[in-house]
Structure 1
Amino acid sequence: MKIYLDLTFIVNFLLCLIIFILHDLVYSHKTPLKRKIFASLFGSAYSIFLVLYPKFFAHVFVKVIFFLLLGFIAFPVDNLMIFLKKIVTLFVISFLGAGVLYWIMIENIGFISIINPIISVREVTKIILFFSGLVIFIPLTRIFILNVKNIFNNKKMYYYLEIYVGNEKVKVRGFLDTGNSIYDPLTKLPVIIVNAVSIKKLLGPEWSKWLETGDIWEVPMETQLKVTLIPFKSMGGEELLVTIRADKVKLLGEKNDEVNCLIGLNPDMSRMYPGVDALLHPAVIF
């Protein structure tokens, strides 16, 4: 059997990159593209060594060392617990996503087709279907991990937040909305949707006209707050969400964690859940 090392390297690089993209969907702090690329190159290099020296690199101890090194390359070790959580999540995604699909592919079309996809149009089609399966697997993996975390951590659905702007702060009650998947496309920060009236004293008098009408043209541009308009899709179609960057947002609980997010302002109370003033993004909780 002929093994094409260059194609093996390319295919494994793409697999590693897709796994890190999947991993980004779980955490609000995204892995920088450079780290993803370097880690993917390291993972691809391991696949080459595994082909050349299978007896040594197939050893469990070597695999564990490799996986930890991969984690050090991809994730900063600022917080040990967060680092370990990311490592475990990466392992789960690797097994459920790439691992299972890779095994199915080998069982059905053989290893030679993976490392040499230029054999025929039929084999290329199977390769395309394989990677399409990984793309479809992205939202399924996110849903699975969030639900498993919810079960094992016994996370509740209601939380209190403290939002700080200057010398003022407001405490709001929030609901964990698993359907909230809004991110700022530039900063990649998750967005918490807050009833604008509940934090009126943080906004300032220049916001009064917008609070009354909800008209996007009434959003004040001359304000001490950094205002961003984020496009998103709702049941009514495409809309623009007015967001601000608070000085600090704290998730109240045992640790009173400070969270990095944007505040989406909703002037329409009818679009909020009863008894809550904020719809929390899953990335803020998990």
Structure 2
Amino acid sequence: MVCALGAAVCFGTATVLQAIAARSAAATGPGGDLALLWRALRQWRYLAGLALDGLGFVLQILALRSVPIYAVGAAMAASLAVTAVVAARLLKVRLSRVEWAAVAVVCAGLALLGLASGAEGDEAGPAGLKWAMLGAAGGVLLLGAAGGRLPERGRALALGLGSGLGFGVVEVSVRLIDGLSPGELFPNPATYALLLGGGAAFLLLTSALQRGSVTTATAGLVLGETVAPALIGVVWLGDRTRPGLGWLAILGFAVAVAGALALSRFGEAPVEAEERAVAPR
């Protein structure tokens, strides 16, 4: 659980650092996507954000190998609370009382989950689950292609939901990989599901944030990466709670996800705040 919370801190902080660097790169001159990316890569904040993303991914993998998927998924959604707090500090974003309350709700939900979570399940799941994850990863790409043609609000929700499902495929696939030797990785369909699902998730999330409402897209992301993977973990992979605390885990999961949804506008740092932070002085 400490690894899951550490991953949330890394991802939430990286979002703000990369947002500041990206806006700063755009403010220094015109250019295409590659030129802007090159200028962003020359800034320490962007590089620090990438390093935090890498560290967060490693911590997420460690967490998924140790605690139930439902606990890790809720912690990943809680990275929005970290982004909100860091944005308030670095970008001078003013949080409303409701948003501060949502941060507290997320923390309370995670505390309940920490108390109720049992050990990682040790079941391998149905024989076809690995292939099902690979098929689901391909389905995420199809959902993205179809969602990109919808009107703006529906497009943002579909792309965000698809991105969340892609990250959910990653969470489940990690549990379906038994070893890291080439002989175990290459023949395993879960390996390719992890790569395809993760790549598709990043593509869809980028498209959703560029082409629609950040709040709507992030809400879809939170729902997609928490609910379905949690159910798979409980039903097929043996994830359980501590004896007699199933109700507390359900309550903590629901509270943490609800708080994250209330903070969904922090799926991307607010534009106006970013512009103030990087404006020439």
**Into which bin does the TM-score normalised by the smaller protein fall?**
under 0.3
Q: Which has the higher contact order (CA 8 A, sep 6+)?
A: 2
Larger helix percent:
2
TM-score (norm 1): 0.26
In the superposition, the TM-score normalised over structure 2's length comes to 0.27
